[in-house]
């Protein structure tokens, strides 16, 4: 059973409702690879190719085209923001997109947990989670629980820890509402 299915069953047992986790990030950050890692073996794709448009998977939404993200904000229970930690040049763009997302009316009024995957940590040019958190100003996010996890979506390193944190946060959110 894939981890996202386990996440949904665990949370579903609390509230018997569908849980939507939005997976976002700039193109080539590793969103599809992260999602693929958690699929059942028979559902996994052997070779990940760049996503054109966006994918909707059961219990998660994933957008490559940033202008489409906001269409999924209203119904989401948590966000996974995938960052290419080796792409120093586009970290400013990541910050801009994060700030826009956090200011959106459907997001700013909700206490949504946000999991940041600092992906591609195996690359020698990659920044540490501390440097990424500082560059994105994550310490200024006071109204939402957030966590940053170093990850390598190809090997799966760091993904389990991050999703376990997100599962706990969503469970608490649904239990308290």
Domain ranges of the chain: 3-176
Q: Which CATH superfamily is domain 3-176 in?
A: P-loop containing nucleotide triphosphate hydrolases (3.40.50.300)
For residue 126, the surrounding DSSP H or E stretch is none
Burial of 154 (0-12, 13-18, 19+ CB in 10 A): middle
Splitting the chain (177 residues) into consecutive groups of 10 residues, what average pLDDT does each group show? Answer: 56 59 89 80 56 47 50 84 94 95 92 96 95 97 96 93 92 82
Q: Are 11 and 78 in contact (CB under 8 A)?
A: no
* Predicted pLDDT at 2: 53
Strands 60-63 and 54-57: antiparallel
- Round to whole Å and give the CA distance between 159 and 36: 11
């Amino acid at each position: 059973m894939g981890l996202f299915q386990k996440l949904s069953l665990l949370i579903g047992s609390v509230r018997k409702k569908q849980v939507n986790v939005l997976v976002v990030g700039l193109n080539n950050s590793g969103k599809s690879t992260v999602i693929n890692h958690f699929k059942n073996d028979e559902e996994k794709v052997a070779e990940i190719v760049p996503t054109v448009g966006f994918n909707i998977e059961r219990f998660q939404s994933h957008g490559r085209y940033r202008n489409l993200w906001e269409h999924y904000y209203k119904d989401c229970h948590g966000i996974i923001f995938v960052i290419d930690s080796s792409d120093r040049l586009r970290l400013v763009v990541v910050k801009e997109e994060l700030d826009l997302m956090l200011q959106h009316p459907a997001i700013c009024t909700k206490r949504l947990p946000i999991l940041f995957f600092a992906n591609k940590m195996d690359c020698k040019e990659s920044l540490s989670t501390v440097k990424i958190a500082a560059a994105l100003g994550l310490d200024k996010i006071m109204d939402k629980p957030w966590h940053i996890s170093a990850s390598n979506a190809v090997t799966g390193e760091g993904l389990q820890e991050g999703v376990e944190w997100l599962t706990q946060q969503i469970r608490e959110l649904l239990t308290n509402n």
